[in-house]
Amino acid sequence: MKNFREGTLILIILFLGVILSAVSPVFLTSANLRALFISVALDCIVVIGMSLVIISGGIDLSVGAVMALSCSLSAVLYVKGAPFIICVIVGVIASLLCGLFNGFLISKQKMTPFIVTLATMTIARGLSFIITQGYNISLTNKLPPMFKALGSGSIVRIPNLVIISFIFIIIFDVLFRKSPLFRLVFYSGSNEKAALFSGINVSKVKMMAYIFSSALCGLAGILFLSRFSYASAIVGTGMELNMIAGCVIGGISMEGGQGTVLGSALGLIMLAIITNGLVLMNISIYWQQFVSGIILITAVWLDYYRNRVKDRRVTV
């Protein structure tokens, strides 16, 4: 079933590519494809953590805000003269603390994931505005050359960011499928009571999922800084909805317990291609948002329908 979903997405992506290349000669140009994959590279890193959280039976609305916090904090500390490596470490630690906060309240205090992560989103975004005072922090020509090359450089004309995201997707897709540690997340998300009876520490598993998700958001924030040489409190705004859409389109069930990293990444790529196609056809950004919303609600409905059919079969 997993391979079927991923294979279907690949065919849909290829079909969209053929249609858009016929509609716009710009679509298959190297410049457009480069911009397309760069635009989705950081999302593909963040979606790995979101995938783990949803598979565990939760949700994380704070991903974009945590990314902004990591990026903003690192940039402001660097502007104030702190050693660059310290700036990066502090930014990542801040994101880890956000994940710890989410995980503790959700797994230990049994609070609703939606409310907790919504609150964390608001807190992290607010801290980002406080840290930056609402200004964009420009670091053009100020970042260490090696760090700048990490986000802006390329190997054989393939952007480093794309290579990094590809490596992350492959590594964690294999771990999700094969690692006993990550399989605990699937067991906890599919049936929490059964997992508890089998001796799995579900609270610890959920805590790990939220910390892992926020850590990847922190890393994405640092890579954003490397790529664009600026930080802003509005970085990652609306990212959470895109992550959820990518996960659901890619085959992750909102009820938890199933899905793959590769599927989520393919879901994001499909959304990015659709958005890119709308831009090339000069369709208003308002329609772009409308189409994204329709795709999201359709994917959620299909997930609900698939689970309902599965429950009927089990009952029969």
The pLDDT tens digits of the residues spanning 187-246 come to 999 888 898 888 899 999 999 999 999 999 999 999 999 999 999 999 999 899 899 989
Q: Using one digit for the tens of pLDDT, what is the confidence trace for 83-96?
A: 999 999 999 999 99
Q: Which residues neighbour 76 within 8 Å (Cβ) at sequence distance 6 or greater? A: 131, 132, 137, 231
Quick one: tokens of 153? 């450089």
* Banded pLDDT at 301 (limits 50, 70, 90): confident
The per-residue DSSP string of 188-257 comes to HHH-HHHHHHTT--HHHHHHHHHHHHHHHHHHHHHHHHHHHSEE-TTTTTTHHHHHHHHHHHTT--TTSS
143-184 residue pLDDT tens? 999 899 888 889 988 999 999 999 999 999 999 999 998 999
Place of tokens 């698939």: 306
Q: What is the Cα Rg of the chain in Å?
A: 20
Other Cβ atoms within 10 Å of 97 Cβ, number:
16
Give the SS3 label for residue 137. Answer: strand
Type of residue found at 7: G
Percentage of the chain lying above the pLDDT 90 cut:
66
So what's the architecture of 2-315 in CATH?
A: Orthogonal Bundle (1.10)
Question: How high is the pLDDT of residue 56?
Answer: 94
pTM of the model: 0.92
Inform me whether the pLDDT recorded for 140 exceeds 90.
no
pLDDT value at residue 263? 93
